[in-house]
Structure 1
């Protein structure tokens, strides 16, 4: 039989469980808040998500370079981990929005705010809503949940051909 909220705990030496990890700063795998790097094509709408160990430049660079085209223009927030995209030797370019200043930027003065990250921000909301159903996901299993979200996001319907590709047939 379950107790009521007003009932005292059976074992006073057993502390109550903590809810959520409220650590400040950027998440890492070590502090139990693994970051998820998300990318979405502006023209294709195709999304890609990767659970990372940290948000260091080396980690971000390897993931972005592996998942984007050589000549891609990458729209980012103000995170310093993307500064490598501004190197002259890098074939990809970067356009960044400083969220402390504005939500989008008009870089060419035509009145259209073409530099924004609203597309991926909307997808983050969908991913958070999907994960919220599970009331917490262990970090070792997070990549599987994220992969399932990516699959559902990128495919409107699961067809026999998709299942065959997934199974390697």
Structure 2
């Protein structure tokens, strides 16, 4: 699991039934999910962005792409990431998440999406990134959260489709892997979670 391989690959490597491996991988994802729902609030410089996850299909792309899952993410610079699947990317959906996860007076970086307009008159210092004019201009960027989206999508592509009802488990797994990037730390955390919850 820690190596980031699929349950099928793990089953072949270890010599167990693929359903057995899938069962234990699912249990590990459940443990990660339930233990990463509430991170400490972010402060300082925070990057905010939304992305869409789902299968490749022709037709509508970008924001609001049909049949894709909308995901909202916040990344504390040089720190952790927090993600949540959302029903839509409207202000009424995103602002409460920002207020719940980011301390007032923090610096919030976003792109120019209209849902972030309200941040101009909020308790945060708001800076917009216009990708066409200054993609990575000194501190004025959201490269960190966009890097996370790329890592998460690369990891999830291995699974050739994820059941929608389990998507958040896989999303939190990606968040957990990003927040605990050292293999030794991942192993230690999982060992502790298994001890506390499965015995």
TM over 0.5: yes
Q: TM-score, normalised by structure 1?
A: 0.72
Within-5 A mapping of 1:9-88: 20-24=56-60, 25-27=62-64, 31-43=66-78, 45-87=79-121
Q: What SS does the aligned partner of 1:130 have? A: helix
| TM-score (normalizing by structure 2) | 0.62
Residues in 1 aligned to 2:139 and 2:114: alpha-carbon distance in whole angstroms: 21
User: What's the offset of the Cα at 1:149?
Assistant: 1.1
Change (3 A) 1:65 1:103: same
8 Å contact 1:75–1:117 — kept in the other structure?
Answer: yes
- Deviation (angstroms), 1:153: 1.4
For 2:196 and 2:147, the matched residues in 1 are separated by: 27
Q: For residue 51 of structure 1, give the secondary structure of its aligned residue in structure 2.
A: strand
**1:147 and 2:183 matched:** no
CA contact (8 A) 1:76 1:95 kept: yes
- Aligned match of 1:163: 193
Q: Stretches of 4+ moved more than 3 A in 1?
A: 164-167
SS of the aligned residue for 2:159 comes to: coil
Structure (1 or 2) with the larger CA radius of gyration: 1
5+ residue gaps in structure 1?
A: 1-18, 106-112
Counting helix residues as a fraction of each chain, which structure ranks higher? 2
Relative contact order, higher structure (CA 8 A, sep 6+)? 2
Shift, 1:48, TM fit = 0.6
Measured in 2, the distance between the counterparts of 1:85 and 1:58 equals: 12
Give the direction of change, closer, same or farther, for the CA distance of 1:165–1:98 in structure 2 (3 Å limit). farther
For 2:120 and 2:173, locate their aligned partners in 1 and report how far apart those are by CA, in whole Å. 33
CA RMSD of aligned residues (A): 2.5
- Decide whether the 8 Å contact of 1:33 with 1:139 is kept in 2: no
Aligned in 2, Cα 1:122/1:165: closer, same or farther, shift over 3 Å?
farther
Offset, 1:93: 1.9
